[in-house]
Amino acid sequence: MSTRILIVEDEEALTLLLRYNLEAEGFIVDSAARGDEADLRLQEQVPDLVLLDWMLPALSGIELCRRIRARRETERLPVIMLTARGEEGDRIRGLGTGADDYIVKPFSVPELLARVRALLRRAKPAHVANMLIAGDIELDRVSHRIRREGREIHLGPTEFKLLEFLMQSPGRVFSREQLLDGVWGHDVYIDERTVDVHVGRLRKALNRPRQSDPIRTVRGSGYSFDEMFEGEAESA
Ligand code: CA
């Protein structure tokens, strides 16, 4: 799933620069040049993160940030304030209205990207590019490596895809049919019991005796990755 970023900035050149660099990182970028326009946009669709300029026409970044925090749909939306103001008082005021981070213009693009990634990691661990981490399990989507408590876990390609698919949406229950679509693909005719076989193999590889099982079987529905999974061993 792609991560959406909304840029709210009235300097067109800066918007273009940010858009270019964020898109190169694989983000989906949307932009608004006015505060009121951004306010409306946010009521239509909530992105994963907002880059918010302080000084904007029609509605200031500070006021927009207040509105973002006041609305239930966006109260936890990650916001990074962009501003030419570097005074400590302004910084405190910016953070005081609910911005998660604050970056002073002119800034370096790599630094901004690092802050975006860091904030997304804090806000939504599953969205950050290459690693899926839950409790003591780490799944690296690029090198296809999985570790549990630091121990390397060897999985077949199907079990890997299955775990990756489940870990992307912790807590969500998938039916066997949805898992077949998501992991095996739409045009494949496979018996739904095949899913059970692969879940069984995945559990066998993943769980040592006394380690808790991150895969939850939901009777009559399917499977999910346990959103409460902490990785600690079950008490005897
Ligand atoms: Ca501005």
Q: Tens digit of pLDDT per residue, the chain (236 long)?
A: 578 999 999 999 999 999 999 999 889 999 999 999 999 999 999 999 999 998 899 999 989 999 999 998 898 899 999 987 666 676 677 677 788 888 888 889 999 999 998 888 777 654 455 778 888 898 988 788 899 988 899 999 999 999 999 998 888 899 999 999 889 887 777 888 899 999 999 999 999 888 899 999 999 899 999 988 877 654 44
List the alpha helices (DSSP H) in 34-156.
35-44, 61-70, 88-96, 109-123
Instruction: For residue 225, list its beta bridge partners.
Output: 215
Task: Please choose, from the candidates 69, 229, 76, the residue with its C-alpha nearest in 3D space to the C-alpha of residue 139.
Answer: 229
Task: Count CA atoms closer than 13 A to 113's CA, side-chain side.
Answer: 15
Q: Which fold has domain 131-225?
A: Arc Repressor Mutant, subunit A (1.10.10)
What sign does the dihedral 92-98-99-105 (CA atoms) show?
A: negative
Each domain of the chain, given as residue ranges in start order, spans 4-127, 131-225
The rounded Å distance from CA 123 to ligand 1 centre is 26
The rounded Å distance from CA 108 to ligand 1 centre is 17
CATH of 4-127, one of 3.40.50.2300, 3.10.560.10, 3.40.50.170, 2.60.40.1170: 3.40.50.2300
In the structure, ligand 1 is a single-atom ion and the residues with CB under 5 Å from it are 10, 53, 55
CA 38 to chain centre: 21
The rounded Å distance from CA 70 to ligand 1 centre is 23
How deeply is 24 buried, as exposed, middle or buried, from its count of CB atoms within 10 A (0-12, 13-18, 19+)?
A: exposed
The rounded Å distance from CA 64 to ligand 1 centre is 13
The rounded Å distance from CA 63 to ligand 1 centre is 14
Instruction: For residue 132, list its beta bridge partners.
Output: 139
